[in-house]
């Protein structure tokens, strides 16, 4: 068993309105920054023991499917590194 860190990034699907990101973008503009767009995402870093990076990724994938993301509005990706 090796300890891995699985990083799950959950984003709104393209086209789904993100009012918090819009508000943040406006606040940055108010500070004088120039920007075209801003997207927000949630990131989860999960330490876990697994036999292989693939096994760690599979488990993190299931976590995203079942809880961390809502498939109706979210896309997600999983990256695995040795901890």
Residue 73 touches another protein, criterion: CB under 8 A: yes
User: How far separated are the first and last CA of the chain, in Å rounded?
Assistant: 12
Residue 68 touches another protein, criterion: CB under 8 A: yes
Alpha helices for the chain (secondary structure H): 19-30, 53-63
CA 72, 58, 76, 67 torsion: positive or negative?
Answer: positive
3-state secondary structure of 4: strand
Q: How far is the CB of 20 from another protein (least distance, A)?
A: 6
Out of 3, 23, 43, 52, the only residue in the binding site for another protein (CB under 8 A) is 23
Residue 72 touches another protein, criterion: CB under 8 A: yes
Interface residue list for another protein (CB under 8 A):
16-20, 22-23, 67-68, 70, 72-73
């Amino acid at each position: 068993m090796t300890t891995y860190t699985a990083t799950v990034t959950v984003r709104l699907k393209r086209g789904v309105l993100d009012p918090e990101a819009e508000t943040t973008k406006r606040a940055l503009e108010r500070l004088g920054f120039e920007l075209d767009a801003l997207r927000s995402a949630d990131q989860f870093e999960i330490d876990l023991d697994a036999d292989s990076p693939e096994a760690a990724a599979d488990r993190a994938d299931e976590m995203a499917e079942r809880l961390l993301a809502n498939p109706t509005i979210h896309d997600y990706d999983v990256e695995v590194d040795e901890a």
